[in-house]
Structure 1
Amino acid sequence: MKLRVLVFINALAVAVTISAVNYYFQHKFYDMAITFVATIISSFIVFYYLIEKYVYSKIKLIYKLIHNLKLGRDLRDALGEHMSSDPINDVEHEVQEWAREKKTEIETLRTQEKFRRDFLSNISHEFKTPLFAIQGYIEALQDDDFEDRDMARQFLDKASKNVDRLSYLIKDLDEISKLESGELPINYTKFKINDLIKEIIEASDLKGKQHNIKLIFKQKYDEPILVIADRQKITQVLVNLIDNSFKYGKEGGHTWITLFELHDQVLIEVTDDGMGIEEKYLPRLFERFFRTDTSRSRQIGGSGLGLAIVKHIVEAHQQTINVRSTENVGSTFGFTLQKVKQNIPFPHIPILKS
Structure 2
Amino acid sequence: MNKRRRLGIRGKWLGSITLSLIAGFTVSTLTPVFPASKYWFLFQLTPLATFFIAFFFTYFLLTRPFVQYLRTLADGLNVLAEGKLQHRVPVLRQDELTDVAANLNAMAERLESQIEKERLAEKSKMDLITGLSHDLRTPLTSIVGYLGLLKNQTYRDEAERDRIVENAENKALQLKKLIEDLFEYTRLTDGASELRVLIFDVRALAAQMAVEFEPIAAEHGASLRFTHADRLPANVAADPDRIRRALDNLLMNALKFSVKPGEIRMTVAVADACAEIAVRNLGDPVTAEQERQLFERFYKADASRSADRIQPGFGLGLTIARQIAELHGGSIRFAHENGSFLFALRLPLHG
Q: Report TM bin, short chain.
A: 0.5 to 0.7
Structure whose alpha-carbon radius of gyration is higher: 2
Give the drift of 1:231.
2.2
Q: Which residue of structure 1 lines up, in the alignment, with residue 251 of structure 2?
A: 242
1:277 alignment partner, one of 286, 290, 293: 286
Q: Give the equivalent residue in structure 2 for 1:261.
A: 271
Provide the rounded CA distance (Å) in 1 between the counterparts of 2:344 and 2:142.
Answer: 37
C-alpha distance in structure 2 between counterparts of 1:265 and 1:95, whole Å = 51
Match of 1:114 among 115, 123, 135: 123
Counterpart pick for 1:162 among 167, 171, 184: 171
The AA in structure 2 aligned to 1:303 is G
1:135-284 equivalence runs, <5 A: 135-144=144-153, 148-210=157-219, 211-219=221-229, 222-250=231-259, 251-259=261-269, 261-262=271-272, 264-284=273-293
**RMSD over equivalenced CA pairs, Å:** 4.1
**Preserved CA contact (<8 Å) 1:208 1:246:** yes
* 1:267 shift after superposition: 4.2
Change in 2 beyond 3 A, CA 1:268/1:143: closer
CA offset at residue 318 of structure 1?
4.0
- TM alignment of 1:45-124, pairs within 5 A: 98-124=107-133
Residues 111 and 8 (structure 1), Cα distance of their counterparts in 2 relative to 1, 3 Å cut: closer
Identity score, percent: 23
Q: CA deviation at 1:121?
A: 1.4
* 1:11 is aligned to 2:13: yes
The alignment of Structure 1 onto Structure 2 pairs a total of residues equal to 296
3-state SS of the aligned residue for 2:330? coil
Shift of 1:16: 4.1
CA contact 2:24–2:51 (8 Å) conserved in 1: no
1:234-261 CA-partner distances (Å, limit 9, x unpaired): 1221122123222322314241424352
SS of 1:213 mapped into structure 2 = strand
Q: 2:309 aligns with which of 287, 299, 318?
A: 299
For residues 292-331 of structure 1, what are the structure 2 equivalents within 5 Å?
Answer: 292-295=301-304, 296=306, 299-304=309-314, 305-327=316-338, 329-331=339-341
Which AA in structure 2 matches 1:299?
R
Q: Which amino acid aligns with 1:270?
A: V
Matches of 2:206 and 2:254 in 1, distance apart? Answer: 15
CA contact (8 A) 2:206 2:277 kept: no
Q: Give yes or no for contact 2:281–2:342 (8 Å, CA) kept in 1.
A: yes
1:95-141 Cα offsets, whole Å, 9 max, x none, are 56654543443233223222212211111111111122223233344
TM-score by length of 1: 0.67
Of structures 1 and 2, the one with the larger relative CO (CA 8 A, separation 6+) is 1
Structure 2: 5+ residue runs without aligned partners? 31-46, 60-66, 68-95
Equivalent residue for 2:143, pick from 129, 134, 138: 134
TM-score of the superposed pair, with normalisation by structure 2: 0.68
Structure-2 change in CA distance of 1:39 and 1:313 (3 Å):
farther
- Secondary structure of 2:165's match? helix
Give the AA of the match of 1:331.
F
Query: 1:279-304, CA deviations, whole angstroms, 9 ceiling, x for partnerless residues?
Result: 22222223444321325356311434
Cα offset for 1:213? 1.7
Distance 2:147 2:172 in 1: 12
User: What amino acid is the match of 1:214?
Assistant: L
